Amino acid sequence: MPTAVVRRAAALVRLFLRASHPARMVVIGFAMAVLLGAGLLMLPVSTEQGSTTDWVTALFTATSAVCVTGLVVVDTAAHWSTFGEVVVLGLIQVGGLGIMTLASLLGMLVVRRLGLRMRRSAQAETKSLGLGDVRSVIAGVITLSLVMEAITALALTLRFVLGYGQSWGEGAYFGVFHAVSAFNNAGFALYPDSLQRYATDPLVCLPVLFAVIVGGLGFPVLFEIGRRLRGKRRHWSLHARVTLLAYSVLLGVGVLAFGAFEWNNPETLGPLSVGGKLLVGLFHGTTPRTAGFTTVDIGEINPTTMLVNDVLMFVGGGSAGTAGGIKVTTFALLAFVILTEVRGESQVHVLGRKLPVGVQRQALTVVLVAVGMVFTATLLLLVITPFGLDATLFESISAFGTVGLSTGITEQLPRAAELVLIVLMFTGRLGPITMASALALRERGRRYDLPEERPIVG
């Protein structure tokens, strides 16, 4: 038995290091971007004071930027110079483009190899997911990102200049920074209190939400929507339908929960007009889908709202987009498995399609490994820091899901806890994607058959 365990653990390690080259390349590429970014941020030119930044702070900031998480141990505008801010912005853009491209390509690889039985429909299927070939995926992701970021930046710039009297230069800088940060679901802001000063301004909040949602749906879904907008009517893929359904449901749950639980909280929605409550509720119902911006102080939301947010942040956004978490499809597939059980059927049907057994197990594995990661990190934070379960669990899920929301403890964490979060942000960003595709690509036929036996469940 111990030998078997060691052998299996080794297989797990090999899984990431050797067995699947595409997954390994993703990890190495992201690690290099993080290290390069940290190196740049350590330079004196990157800080407002012109002094060197210690390596943990630089590494934390670079990881948070590349993984589009948005957690910060130093205030972005106060600590970093404009050069440093541009480095952060560049890392966000590289991280966002990288994750969209690589996740789309890995998804394409999986669908191509395993998606459908017949070669012809497999080709049709990958085309319908917008995954024709590698170059067109890269071109599509870059075009989409830049266009959406430009639209959002324009809207924000106009508002900052016309509504808040900023100069065109300053307005454009703030507009571009927050547009890129929003589309990539990064959550970095140039204000110490995120976007709280714009809490009741729909002309700032709505463009940000637009960018957050578009970026968070994921490239394959956006590609399908785009095709339909261009008048090419075809059937929706299962992936797009599940994503849109689950994303809408979670958005609704988020808005309702935040609105209901915070309506009378004097520190959050309490003092606002009904219109203001609705706008902030909409904003904070969306932002746990790993956007990370805030328009109220997250440290003041009540523990009920916090627990709902924990779940929403863990689920995250759409696959192959800039959002993190285990992804809404993974979550929805498990819901459909339960529905199958309730209906007493032997096969899992999802919106008129049959779900392969392998995919069910992959979804389960992704969720349980994610739970294990968040649990381990929370445990470590409880040991290392003086904070309670509320704050440490929230922080861990925020880092794992690349959300960037915090109850305010990030800047007070000891070094060891910062290192825990660095590892968690990195594995949270790449873990679910690489694990899911690596698992799917390893899927193979049965080699031998054992007698079936049924233990008692429950």
Helix (H, G, I), strand (E, B) or coil at 327: coil
Contact present, 91 and 85 (Cβ < 8 Å):
no
Residue in 30, 34, 58, 70 binding K ion, rule: CB under 5 A: 70
**CA angle, corner 211, sides to 209 and 217, nearest 5?**
95
User: Which positions from 54 through 113 interact with a second copy, judged by CB under 8 A?
Assistant: 103, 107, 110-111
Q: DSSP secondary structure string, 84-139?
A: HHHHHHHHHHHHHHHHHHHHHHHHHHHHHHHS-SSHHHHHHHHHHTT-S-HHHHHH
- Closer to K ion by Cβ: residue 185 or 378: 185
Residue in 238, 253, 255, 278 binding a second copy, rule: CB under 8 A: 238
Give dist(CA 69, CA 293) in Å, integer. Answer: 10
* 292, interface contact from a second copy, K ion, none, CB < 5-8 Å by kind: K ion
* 451, interface contact from a second copy, K ion, none, CB < 5-8 Å by kind: a second copy
Half-sphere exposure of 229 (CA within 13 A, CB side): 6
User: Which positions from 387 through 406 interact with a second copy, judged by CB under 8 A?
Assistant: 388-390, 392-393
Residue in 98, 107, 281, 292 binding K ion, rule: CB under 5 A: 292
Q: How far is the CB of 117 from K ion (least distance, A)?
A: 38
For residues 340 to 369, the per-residue mask of contacts with a second copy, x marking binding by CB under 8 A and - elsewhere, is xxxxxxxxxxx-xxxxxxxxxxxxxxx-xx
Residue in 285, 327, 404, 424 binding a second copy, rule: CB under 8 A: 327
Residue in 192, 302, 412, 416 binding a second copy, rule: CB under 8 A: 302
For residues 263 to 292, the per-residue mask of contacts with a second copy, x marking binding by CB under 8 A and - elsewhere, is ------------------------------
Q: Where are the alpha helices (DSSP H) in 165-234?
A: 168-183, 202-217, 219-229
Q: Is residue 453 at the binding interface for a second copy, with CB under 8 A as the rule? A: yes
Stretch that binds K ion, among 64-72, 117-125, 262-270, 432-440 (CB under 5 A): 64-72
- Closer to K ion by Cβ: residue 152 or 185: 185
Residue in 31, 150, 382, 423 binding a second copy, rule: CB under 8 A: 382
* 70, interface contact from K ion, a second copy, none, CB < 5-8 Å by kind: K ion
Contact present, 166 and 156 (Cβ < 8 Å):
no
- What are the residues whose beta carbons fall under 8 Å from the beta carbon of 269, sequence distance 6 or more? 259, 262, 263, 276, 277, 280, 281, 296
Token pair listed for 271: 């003092």
**CA angle, corner 320, sides to 317 and 323, nearest 5?**
30
Q: How far is the CB of 278 from a second copy (least distance, A)?
A: 22
Q: Is residue 187 at the binding interface for K ion, with CB under 5 A as the rule? A: yes
Cβ atoms < 10 Å from Cβ of 109: 19
Q: Is residue 253 at the binding interface for a second copy, with CB under 8 A as the rule? A: no
For residues 183 to 222, the per-residue mask of contacts with a second copy, x marking binding by CB under 8 A and - elsewhere, is -----------------------------------x-x--
Q: How far is the CB of 120 from a second copy (least distance, A)?
A: 13
Report which secondary-structure segment, H or E, holds 390: helix 389-400
Q: Is residue 339 at the binding interface for a second copy, with CB under 8 A as the rule? A: yes
Distance (Å) of CA 175 to CA 115, 157, 163, 170, 326:
41, 5, 13, 8, 30
Stretch that binds a second copy, among 140-148, 167-175, 286-294, 386-394 (CB under 8 A): 386-394
Q: Is residue 8 at the binding interface for a second copy, with CB under 8 A as the rule? A: yes
Q: Is residue 444 at the binding interface for a second copy, with CB under 8 A as the rule? A: yes
Q: How far is the CB of 287 from a second copy (least distance, A)?
A: 20
* 135, interface contact from a second copy, K ion, none, CB < 5-8 Å by kind: none
Stretch that binds a second copy, among 5-13, 26-34, 167-175, 401-409 (CB under 8 A): 5-13
* 350, interface contact from a second copy, K ion, none, CB < 5-8 Å by kind: a second copy
Nearest partner of 78 among 56, 61, 55, 95, judged by Cα: 61
Contact present, 278 and 259 (Cβ < 8 Å):
yes
Residue in 2, 169, 266, 455 binding a second copy, rule: CB under 8 A: 455
Distance (Å) of CA 80 to CA 44, 51, 359, 402:
10, 10, 44, 21
DSSP tag of 386:
S
Contact present, 208 and 293 (Cβ < 8 Å):
yes
Give dist(CA 51, CA 277) in Å, integer. Answer: 42
Binding interface with K ion (CB under 5 A): 70, 185, 187, 290, 292, 404
